């Protein structure tokens, strides 16, 4: 994945320089997660079982593995190293407030150089989770919430737009970019 950083409106200096290793950690993560998703779908479909629909769990696993390899501590989509904290969210939009409070808490307790919340843009979310994209935290929704907090917070907050960066091999792209319909529940009569 590729990340584009944007400092919160109240942040005077560009504190994203404290997060300069993040793009390297994210590089290739989209391809790795998409290939894992593709393989899991093939296995489930070959067994006649329900195939996974969204890529969030695969992205979360890949990101955790990559951050840990880079020396960061990880827990539930939150990553920290020294005086830096990052939240990568693929959660419901109602969680934006708790993500901001988590960043505030870390910043205040740790004299943070930078805290960041990263979210996929709306277009990318439709690929990651076609059934739930409309209710998930997008970069656009996050940006609106952060802009409304101008004058309310004074923490070194950075937000980031996540986008796919790696081209996918054709068979993987056909599945990942193809239609993944919502399961249909048929009640017993």
Locate the domains of the chain by residue range.
2-177
What are the φ and ψ backbone dihedral angles of 150, each rounded to 5 degrees? -55, 130
Q: Are 150 and 107 in contact (CB under 8 A)?
A: no
Q: Using one digit for the tens of pLDDT, what is the confidence trace for 16-41?
A: 999 999 999 999 999 999 999 999 99
CATH number belonging to domain 2-177: 3.40.91.20
**179 or 100: which carries more pLDDT confidence?**
100
pLDDT value of position 183: 52
Q: Using one digit for the tens of pLDDT, what is the confidence trace for 148-159?
A: 999 999 999 999
User: Above pLDDT 90, what percent of the chain?
Assistant: 85
pLDDT value of position 169: 96
**180 or 17: which carries more pLDDT confidence?**
17
- The whole-angstrom separation of Cα 154 and Cα 137 is 23
Q: Using one digit for the tens of pLDDT, what is the confidence trace for 119-166?
A: 999 999 999 999 899 999 999 999 999 999 999 999 999 999 999 998
CA 86 to chain centre: 10
H and E: helices and strands count for the chain: 7, 6
Q: Using one digit for the tens of pLDDT, what is the confidence trace for 85-118?
A: 999 999 999 999 999 999 999 999 999 999 999 9
pLDDT at 186 over 60: no
DSSP letter string, 121-171: -HHHHHHH-TTTGGGB--HHHHHHHHHHTTTT--S-EEEEEEE--SPPPHH
Q: Using one digit for the tens of pLDDT, what is the confidence trace for 42-99?
A: 998 888 888 888 999 999 999 999 999 999 999 999 999 999 999 999 999 999 999 9
pLDDT value of position 52: 85
């Amino acid at each position: 994945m590729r990340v584009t950083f944007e400092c919160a409106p109240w942040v005077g200096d560009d504190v994203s320089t404290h997060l300069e290793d993040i793009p390297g950690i994210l590089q290739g993560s989209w391809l790795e997660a998409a290939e894992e998703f593709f393989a899991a779908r093939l296995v489930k479909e070959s067994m006649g079982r329900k195939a996974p629909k969204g890529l969030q769990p695969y992205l979360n696993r890949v990101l955790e593995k990559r951050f840990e390899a880079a020396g960061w501590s990880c827990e539930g989509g939150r990553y920290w190293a020294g005086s830096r904290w990052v939240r990568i969210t693929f959660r419901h939009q109602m969680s934006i407030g708790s993500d901001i409070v988590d960043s505030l808490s870390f910043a205040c307790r740790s004299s943070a150089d930078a805290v960041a919340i990263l979210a996929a843009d709306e277009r990318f979310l439709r690929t990651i989770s076609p059934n739930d994209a409309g209710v998930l935290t997008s970069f656009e929704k996050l940006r609106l919430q952060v802009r409304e907090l101008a004058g309310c917070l004074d923490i070194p907050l950075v937000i980031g737009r996540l986008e796919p960066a790696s081209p996918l091999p054709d068979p993987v792209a056909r599945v990942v970019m193809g239609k993944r319909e919502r399961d249909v529940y048929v009640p017993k009569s």
